[in-house]
Amino acid sequence: MSEAEDQSTATLERPAQPAPGRARRLRLRTVAALRRFRGRVRVKPRLNLAWRIGIGVLGTLVLILGVIAIPYPGPGWLIVFAGLGILPPSSTGRVGSCASCAATTAAGPSGWAARTSL
């Protein structure tokens, strides 16, 4: 093989991938660091409130951006669902109350949902 061919095949080779165990350890370390950070934020009421407001604003902005992007080609609905995915962690109390309200409404005073088979 000539030197030029040797150089061209060298550029096509993939760089060495990290070992699967190493990538997993890095991921676990990152998750542990994020949990420690969130735990420190949770114990300080003002910081926790600021965190929750910030996450709520971020989720709302992503949701609005997704709604604006729906009519255009691209991932509009994906952005909407990402925004909805960001919102629930900051509003867990409201989500739980909405779910219980929906269950009570579905049962109704006559128990129609219990008698009807889907």
| Percentage of the chain exceeding pLDDT 90 | 21
DSSP category for residue 1: -
| Percentage of the chain exceeding pLDDT 70 | 57
Residue with tokens 């971020």: 58
Residue 72 has pLDDT above 80, yes or no: yes
Give the 3-state secondary structure of residue 60.
helix
Q: What is the pLDDT of residues 22-56, one digit of tens each?
A: 888 888 899 999 899 989 999 999 999 998 889 88
Task: Single out the residue of 89, 91, 69, 92 nearest to residue 80, CA to CA.
Answer: 69
Q: What is the pLDDT of residue 43?
A: 92
pTM: 0.53
Boundaries of every domain in the chain: 47-90
Task: Single out the residue of 15, 18, 38 nearest to residue 27, CA to CA.
Answer: 18
Separation CA 72–CA 69 (nearest Å): 5
Longest C-alpha distance within the chain, in Å? 86
From the centroid of its chain, how far is CA 92? Answer: 14
- Amino acid residing at 106: A
| Mean residue pLDDT across the chain | 75
